[in-house]
C-alpha cells in the first residue's frame, strides 16, 4: 500500500450536513451553542474581541449575537458580492445573457481599449476600467469599476432603484429580510442590519437554496463561487485613474489591494484556498468571505455549516497567509469554539478506507434516506461517496482518497435527515 498521507480538513470536531440546514422564518431561531456542538465561552471571547455588531449562525440557528441586530449600517466592500448575486438574478431572469455579456451592449461608450469588457471582468476586478491594461490583463481592486458595475445593474439592467431591485420578492426579498436593504444615493453603497446580512450569507452558504426552494440555480454558485483568477495574473501598473465615463467611485481608488487577489478572489468573494497555502491559516480550506473596510466582514464555512457576520468589528489588516494577524487570531477563536484544530493536525492514509459516522434523526424509514458525501480534493478533484444507514440513528460514509493533498467534505441528502455531528 502506498504510504503517502492525506490531510483531512473534516477530521476534528463537529461537521454539519448541508441537507439538514434550517432557515429562519420571520425571525432567526436561537440555540445554545452547546446544542449544536460549539463552546459558548470561545464565542464570548470572539464577540468581546471584535466588538461592534455581529452574530454567529450554526446549522441555521443564531448561537451568538452581540451589539444591535437591527441597526442598519454601511457594509462597504463586504456588500460587493451582493452585486454579483444580483447579476445572477439578472441572468436567471434573462436580462443578461451571462457573465460574459459585453458592457458595451448596455449603452456604455467604452474606449477602444475597453471594448471587450464583460460583467465577468467587473466581478473579478480585471475590467481594466480607468487603468492602463485591457480587460482581463491585470488585477486591480478598483472602486471605479465597482461603480460602473452598480450603475450598469441598477440603471441599465434592472432599470429601477437599488432598493426595488434588491428587495424584490423574486430576489433577495425572498429571504424574508426583517429590515430591508438600503442604498446611498451618492455611490449606491448598501446598508443592512446584521440579522439581514446573516440571511444573505446563509443564502450564499446554501448556494442559492432558501428553505428547500432554489431561488437561484445551484450551478450559478458552482460555476462562480470559487477563485476566478490565476495566481500568476499581474497587478495593474501604477497609473492615474482615467474615469472617462465619469461614473465616480464606490469609495476608494482604482488600485487599492496588492497583497491578494490573483489566486484567491472571484465574483467579489475572497477564498481561503489559495492552492499552495491558505488565506486564513486557521480556517478550513473551503471557507470564503466578504471583506469590507472598517471591520465589516463575513466568513462562511460550508464544511462546518457556520457563518460569522461582523459589522464594525476590530479586525485590523488583511494579510493573507499570516497566522499572527489580528484577523486570523479572531478566526482561530471561532475554530476553538467549533472544537477544530488547525488544518494539518490529522492525517489519513492514501487508499485506506475511513469511516465517518453521522448521528441523525429521520422521519419515516431511515433506510430510505439517500445520504451521500461530496469530497473536494487537490486540483478540484471531486468524489461523491454514497452513505448507508448503520442502525441506532447513525449513518456512515466510507471514504478511500485516491490522491495526495488536502480534502474537504460536505454531506448531502434527498430526504428528511436531521444530521447532527460527525466523528472520526
Where does the pLDDT of residue 423 fall: very low under 50, low under 70, confident under 90, or very high at 90 and above?
A: very low
Predicted confidence at residue 399, as pLDDT, reads 76
Tell me: pLDDT of 215 over 50.
yes
> What contacts 24+ positions apart, CB below 8 Å, involve 97-104?
99/123, 99/224, 103/148, 103/152
Tell me: pLDDT of 124 over 70.
yes
Rounded distance between C-alpha atoms, residue 208 and residue 352, angstroms? 35
Tell me: pLDDT of 347 over 70.
no
Predicted confidence at residue 275, as pLDDT, reads 82
Tell me: pLDDT of 20 over 70.
no
Where does the pLDDT of residue 277 fall: very low under 50, low under 70, confident under 90, or very high at 90 and above?
A: confident
The larger pLDDT score, comparing residue 363 to residue 215, is at: 215
Predicted confidence at residue 419, as pLDDT, reads 36
Provide mean pLDDT across the span 406-410. Answer: 68
Where does the pLDDT of residue 166 fall: very low under 50, low under 70, confident under 90, or very high at 90 and above?
A: very high
* Mean pLDDT score across all residues of the chain: 86
The grid coordinates listed for 225 are: 463561487
Portion of the chain with pLDDT greater than 90, in percent: 70
- CA 296 from chain centre, in angstroms, equals 14
Provide mean pLDDT across the span 49-64. Answer: 97
The answer to whether 121 touches 140, Cβ cutoff 8 Å, is: no
| CA atoms lying within 13 Å on the CB side of residue 149 | 32
Predicted confidence at residue 137, as pLDDT, reads 98
Tell me: pLDDT of 334 over 50.
yes
Predicted confidence at residue 339, as pLDDT, reads 76
Cell 448598501 sits on residue = 190
Lowest-confidence pick of 1-5, 174-178, 326-330: 1-5
The answer to whether 314 touches 49, Cβ cutoff 8 Å, is: yes
Cell 466581478 sits on residue = 123
Maximum pairwise Cα distance, the chain: 67
Lowest-confidence pick of 117-121, 328-332, 368-372, 405-409: 405-409
Rounded distance between C-alpha atoms, residue 159 and residue 161, angstroms? 7
Sign for the pseudo-dihedral over CA of 414, 415, 416, 421: negative
Rounded distance between C-alpha atoms, residue 328 and residue 315, angstroms? 9
Tell me: pLDDT of 228 over 70.
yes
Tell me: pLDDT of 2 over 60.
no
Where does the pLDDT of residue 381 fall: very low under 50, low under 70, confident under 90, or very high at 90 and above?
A: confident
Tell me: pLDDT of 9 over 70.
no
Task: Calculate the alpha carbon distances from 298 to 47, 53, 65, 81, 136 in Å.
Answer: 14, 12, 14, 11, 27
Tell me: pLDDT of 31 over 50.
yes
Predicted confidence at residue 412, as pLDDT, reads 63
Predicted confidence at residue 417, as pLDDT, reads 36
Predicted confidence at residue 329, as pLDDT, reads 93
CA-closest candidate to residue 212, choices 29, 19, 374: 19
Predicted confidence at residue 230, as pLDDT, reads 94
Predicted confidence at residue 317, as pLDDT, reads 83
Tell me: pLDDT of 392 over 80.
no
Tell me: pLDDT of 346 over 80.
no
Calculated CA dihedral for residues 164, 167, 172, 176, nearest 10 degrees: -160
Rounded distance between C-alpha atoms, residue 11 and residue 47, angstroms? 26
Amino acid at each position: 500500500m502506498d504510504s503517502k498521507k492525506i490531510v483531512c480538513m473534516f477530521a476534528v470536531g463537529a461537521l454539519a450536513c448541508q441537507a439538514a440546514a434550517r432557515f429562519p422564518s420571520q425571525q432567526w431561531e436561537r440555540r445554545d451553542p452547546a446544542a449544536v456542538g460549539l463552546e459558548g465561552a470561545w464565542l464570548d471571547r470572539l464577540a468581546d474581541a471584535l466588538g461592534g455588531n455581529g452574530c454567529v449562525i450554526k446549522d441555521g440557528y443564531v448561537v451568538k449575537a452581540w451589539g444591535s441586530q437591527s441597526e442598519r449600517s454601511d457594509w462597504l466592500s463586504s456588500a460587493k458580492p451582493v452585486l454579483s448575486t444580483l447579476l445572477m438574478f439578472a441572468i436567471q431572469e434573462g436580462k443578461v445573457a451571462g457573465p460574459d455579456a459585453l458592457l458595451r451592449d448596455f449603452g456604455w461608450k467604452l474606449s477602444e481599449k475597453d471594448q471587450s469588457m464583460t460583467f465577468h471582468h467587473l466581478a473579478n476586478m480585471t475590467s481594466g476600467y480607468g487603468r492602463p491594461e485591457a480587460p482581463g490583463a491585470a488585477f486591480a481592486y478598483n472602486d471605479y469599476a465597482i461603480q460602473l458595475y452598480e450603475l450598469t445593474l441598477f440603471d441599465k439592467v434592472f432599470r429601477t432603484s437599488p432598493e426595488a431591485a434588491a428587495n424584490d420578492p423574486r430576489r433577495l426579498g425572498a429571504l424574508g429580510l426583517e429590515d430591508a436593504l438600503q442604498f446611498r444615493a451618492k455611490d449606491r453603497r448598501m446598508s443592512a442590519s446584521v440579522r439581514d446580512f446573516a440571511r444573505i450569507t446563509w443564502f450564499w452558504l446554501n448556494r442559492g437554496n432558501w428553505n428547500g426552494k432554489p431561488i437561484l440555480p445551484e450551478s450559478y454558485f458552482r460555476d462562480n463561487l470559487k477563485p476566478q483568477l490565476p495566481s500568476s495574473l499581474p497587478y495593474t501598473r501604477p497609473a492615474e485613474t482615467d474615469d472617462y465615463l465619469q461614473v465616480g467611485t464606490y469609495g476608494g481608488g482604482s488600485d487599492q489591494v496588492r497583497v491578494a487577489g490573483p489566486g484567491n478572489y472571484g465574483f467579489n468573494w475572497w477564498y481561503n484556498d489559495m492552492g499552495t497555502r491558505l488565506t486564513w491559516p486557521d480556517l478550513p480550506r473551503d471557507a470564503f468571505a466578504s471583506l469590507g473596510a472598517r471591520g465589516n466582514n463575513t466568513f462562511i464555512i460550508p464544511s462546518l455549516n457556520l457563518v460569522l457576520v461582523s459589522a464594525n468589528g476590530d479586525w485590523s489588516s488583511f494579510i493573507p497567509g499570516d497566522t499572527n494577524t489580528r484577523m486570523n487570531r479572531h478566526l482561530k477563536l471561532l475554530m476553538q469554539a467549533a472544537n477544530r484544530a488547525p488544518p494539518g493536525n490529522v492525517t489519513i492514509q492514501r487508499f485506506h478506507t475511513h469511516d465517518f459516522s453521522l448521528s441523525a434523526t429521520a422521519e419515516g424509514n431511515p433506510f430510505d434516506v439517500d445520504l451521500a458525501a461530496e469530497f473536494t480534493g487537490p486540483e478540484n478533484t471531486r468524489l461523491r461517496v454514497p452513505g448507508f444507514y448503520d442502525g441506532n440513528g447513525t449513518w456512515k460514509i466510507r471514504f478511500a482518497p485516491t490522491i495526495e493533498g488536502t480534502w474537504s467534505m460536505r454531506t448531502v441528502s434527498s430526504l428528511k435527515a436531521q444530521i447532527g455531528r460527525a466523528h472520526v
